[in-house]
Structure 1
Amino acid sequence: MKILVVSDTHGHDENLMCALQRELPIDALIHCGDLEGSEEYIPEAVECPCYFVRGNNDFFSDLPKEEEFTLGNYRILVTHGHLYGVSMSTCVLEEEARSRQVQVVMFGHTHYPYLEEMEDLTVLNPGSLSYPRQPGRKPSYLVMEIDEQGKAHYEHRYLEKA
């Protein structure tokens, strides 16, 4: 199973379309917020389940602030992260994820790619496809692949600068 995880596209979807062309076919698409209106047409570009959450810039969106669902054997929590103070630390988000007994928590907001795999929890941020902030500032996303044995593997992937 191949899952594309993106965030912080801010209505500028050219790089999202490039990532989709590169990664299709996918079994699910997860967007960690700050879509700024793109939630209307993204599902038309893919033929798989899509999971979207509202970011701090999705002002007039009816999207949920969080989503919890299962893919493979993994219980996943998706949030934009701003309500958990992720710009300072992921500690509050990790505590919330553990209290909900999820195995994977995904967030955006910081525009920095992040991946920490602990024994009981994986915490990840795909970075931003539109406004990356990490050194080198390459647009980024994450691919989560669940192998035939049911184990998840994670990889950040990068596009050339927009």
Structure 2
Amino acid sequence: MKYLVISDTHTDLNNAINIIEQWKEAIIGVIHLGDHDEDAEILQKQYPNLIFHYVAGNCDVGTNPQEKIIILGEYKIWLLHGHRYQIQWGYDGLYYAAQEKNVQVVLVGHTHIPCILEDDGVLIMNPGSIVQPRHEKGPSYGMLGLEKDGRLKKEIYFIKS
């Protein structure tokens, strides 16, 4: 069981479509962490055999939720864009909120900078942006899945230009 994790597509779906095409036989679904959540709705129509989870970001005006909790194996996963926790200044507040919500994994976007952080039993993963990166390695996305033994596997990938 593996999810493609993307964020901050900002209406440019070319990279998202290419990535889904590349991985569609290996993933069960797509998680979109906002900033143009309507992009996730478009992708969901284009790929009806995949599971889609998505939340709204600070650039979204629709009715999609700003936060969502899903379950993957034994893990509670909190999906959010992150702007309401001011993560551009750090992830400390998000760690505390995750502990209060009793989640083991937080998937967050907003900064356009990919990272995987772990502290005190909480994993935070930011896939970066697949179209507007704010770092030198270029556009990025994440993969989150379960190993055969139930352990969590998390990876960041960079799109080669």
Aligned equivalents of 1:154, 1:37: Cα separation in 2: 25
Deviating beyond 6 angstroms after TM superposition, the runs of 4 or more aligned structure 1 residues are none
Cross-structure match for 2:93:
92
- Of 64-73 and 32-41, deviating more is 32-41
Aligned equivalents of 2:149, 2:55: Cα separation in 1: 29
Cross-structure match for 1:32:
33
Identity of aligned residues (%): 33
1:135-159, Cα deviation, whole Å (9 max, x unpaired): 23x1100011201111011111111
C-alpha RMSD of the superposition? 1.2
Contact 2:40 2:52 in 1 (8 A): no
Closer/same/farther in 2, CA of residues 75 and 9 from structure 1, 3 Å limit: same
Aligned equivalents of 1:55, 1:93: Cα separation in 2: 16
Cross-structure match for 1:57:
59
TM-score w.r.t. structure 1 length?
Answer: 0.93
Aligned equivalents of 1:153, 1:119: Cα separation in 2: 18
Aligned equivalents of 1:72, 1:45: Cα separation in 2: 27
Structure 1 residue 116 corresponds to structure 2 residue 117: yes
Q: How far is the alpha carbon of 1:79 from its aligned partner?
A: 0.6
Where structure 2 has 5 or more consecutive residues not aligned to the other structure, the ranges are none
Q: How far is the alpha carbon of 1:119 from its aligned partner?
A: 4.5
Aligned equivalents of 2:66, 2:4: Cα separation in 1: 19
Q: Superposition pairs for residues 66-77 of structure 1, below 5 Å?
A: 66-77=67-78
Closer/same/farther in 2, CA of residues 119 and 21 from structure 1, 3 Å limit: same
Closer/same/farther in 2, CA of residues 106 and 36 from structure 1, 3 Å limit: closer
Structure 1 residue 140 corresponds to structure 2 residue 122: no
Q: How far is the alpha carbon of 1:118 from its aligned partner?
A: 3.0
1:42-76, Cα deviation, whole Å (9 max, x unpaired): 112331221111000112x1110100110111100
Q: How far is the alpha carbon of 1:38 from its aligned partner?
A: 1.4
Structure 1 residue 22 corresponds to structure 2 residue 22: yes
Aligned equivalents of 1:145, 1:68: Cα separation in 2: 16
